[in-house]
Structure 1
Amino acid sequence: MNAHATSEALVAVVTGASRGIGKGVALALGAVGATVYVTGRPREAGGAAPPGALQETAEAVTAAGGRGIAVGCDHSDDAQVLALFSRVGEESGRLDILVNNATALPESLFSPEPFWQKPLDVLAVLDVGLRSHYVASALAAPFMVRQRGGLIVNVSAYGSVNYLYGPAYGAGKAGLDKMAADMAVELRPHDVVAVSLWPGLVATERYTRLVEDNPHAFPPELRPESPEYTGRVVHALFRDPARMTLSGQTLIGAELGRRYGVSDVQGGQPPSYRELLGAPWTKPSRQTPD
């Protein structure tokens, strides 16, 4: 990764940044002076994101000290994603960090029925989540290969190895981990890092609603972390001169944060749930493509 890229010069794309983890990552990168292209749909399926939320994220990034640029983008539409990265090239000429966070979470995904009784719209989590992360990475990689440096982060989850919401969700998260491992093999000769990252329980808007409806929705041993924490960890990884040693790995955000001494917004460091929820698969030893 380009050691000459300073925090002030950073250019990042954070997908799915209208709210939640994506918004938190964008704010954290803005706080270190980065130019952050934030993507999302002003109105998402089910009306989950209010109108203007994406622009509000961009304005908050700017207020934090960076430069926030809102780009309306439906990540199920490849043409819109291509237009996004074309704009990044025209306006910034470089790209240092891509955080793949956009996803589709239809309400049917959270229903208690077994997968064979659920509507097939649950597969949206594979179209906008797994497939869209691949598309964004394929369009971001040429920037990073050309400048011989960059970081691609797939925001995954413990659901990669632990049952959560059924097989469509699990397959999507496991796919993100394997995708990062395989991308890393091909990116390594170009000094570009690719990882998959597992946040813990994150205090997003969805989390807040769930707790308000059911104060006992989550086990008491799960302590939520802020959405910004993931962004702080991503930035610390980018700044690590030895980051290439982690390329291809699936990393637990709390453990990576401890490695770098990253504190959460309210201080302290979130716990790892490795023992409770599972550990990443061991990466393969083969590190070169045919």
Structure 2
Amino acid sequence: MSRALEGRTALVAGGTRGAGRGIAVELGAAGAAVYVTGRSTRSSRSEMDRPETIEETAERVTAAGGEGIAVRVDHLDPGQVDALVRRIDAERGRLDVLVNDIWGADHLFEFGKPLWEQSLENGLRLLRLAIETHAITSHRALPLLIREPGGLVIEMTDGTAEYNARYRRDVGYFYDLAKSAVIRMALAQSEEIAGYGGTAVALTPGWLRSEAMLDHFGVTEENWLDAAKDVPNFAISESPVFVGRAAAALAADPDRARWNGASLSSGGLAKVYGFTDADGSTPDAWRYITEVVDAGRPADVTGYR
């Protein structure tokens, strides 16, 4: 792909860490100028209270060969998003890729509990962070994105439409609603921007080795397989590089409109575009989850990465 996105402008909304950071860096590696937004900066942290910052992500974008621009934005505030879009327009005059990866709710969900046993306050806050932020950002950014044909919207979620079609009792009401709603948001935008030459898709990683996930298992990206000794299915996990390369491949594909409205996964797109994870593997997590984890078979990633 090399410099396929040279001269293009991307906004990764929620690019502080995890999939957002991986996507921002890979878009930069393909030559794009990438605006990286979030609430965690070197001078203040969001309510998640984690150390990753938008400045660090932007620096990684630049180091990869692109141009990273960090902008602190609370995407629940339409005024702040307005100011961001005006800045992008003034500085670049275009927006080619919008990635809605705003989340910030890791501390709010309660897996394995029925609705009435979960915190209503936390659940409603989760929905605001995971859904309202995406709606505000698209509402303000789409007029700039559709100014030129070829714009791409990527709505980041967890799980494919096919997998999420059944209710996921393991993740519970609020998390399931948030992640399924984003897939629907991508479908709605695909219908609305197609006439302007735009494409909108939903994209999910597999079991993502985010910074928080690595911390949870007490491992690093260098020794992450050690965690599979206690949780064998973790062997199917993928780094943020993998979903980053999926997003970059979509953005660089001149025929990306063929995906309009689709629910896509990093593992599925790797089969089409031929990219790999940072370690050279191609984990197909959602097929593995369906055929091995959900089927109750012993953990074995043979043939799945």
TM-score bin, normalised by smaller chain: 0.7 to 0.9
Q: Which residue of 1 aligns with 2:18?
A: 20
Shift of 1:111: 5.6
Asked if 2 retains the 8 angstrom alpha-carbon contact of 1:201 and 1:222, the reply is no
Q: Secondary structure at the match of 2:202?
A: strand
Between the aligned partners of 1:218 and 1:153, the Cα distance in structure 2 is: 31
TM-score by length of 2: 0.83
1:1-290 matches, cutoff 5 A: 6-42=4-40, 43-50=45-52, 53-110=53-110, 112-119=112-119, 120-158=121-159, 160-161=164-165, 162-212=168-218, 215=227, 218-220=231-233, 222-274=235-287, 276-277=289-290
Asked if 2 retains the 8 angstrom alpha-carbon contact of 1:30 and 1:66, the reply is yes
Q: Secondary structure at the match of 1:9?
A: coil
Between the aligned partners of 1:197 and 1:138, the Cα distance in structure 2 is: 19
Between the aligned partners of 2:238 and 2:272, the Cα distance in structure 1 is: 17
Q: Deviations for 1:228-269, whole angstroms, at most 9, x for unmatched residues?
A: 211211111122232112100111221012111011111121
Q: Secondary structure at the match of 1:110?
A: coil
Between the aligned partners of 1:235 and 1:47, the Cα distance in structure 2 is: 29
Q: Secondary structure at the match of 2:203?
A: strand
Shift of 1:122: 2.1
Q: Percent identity?
A: 35
Structure 1 regions of 5+ residues with no counterpart?
A: 279-290
Query: Larger deviation: 231-240 or 197-206?
Result: 231-240
Between the aligned partners of 1:55 and 1:160, the Cα distance in structure 2 is: 34
Between the aligned partners of 1:106 and 1:156, the Cα distance in structure 2 is: 13
Shift of 1:80: 1.1
Matched to 1:259, the amino acid is V
Q: Secondary structure at the match of 1:194?
A: strand
- How many residues are aligned here? 272
Between the aligned partners of 2:28 and 2:204, the Cα distance in structure 1 is: 21
Between the aligned partners of 2:38 and 2:170, the Cα distance in structure 1 is: 25
Q: Secondary structure at the match of 2:109?
A: helix
Aligned pair in 2 of structure 1 residues 10, 266: CA closer, same or farther (>3 Å)? same
Asked if 2 retains the 8 angstrom alpha-carbon contact of 1:27 and 1:231, the reply is yes
Between the aligned partners of 1:74 and 1:163, the Cα distance in structure 2 is: 31
Shift of 1:95: 0.6
TM-score by length of 1: 0.87
Shift of 1:194: 0.2
Between the aligned partners of 2:170 and 2:142, the Cα distance in structure 1 is: 31
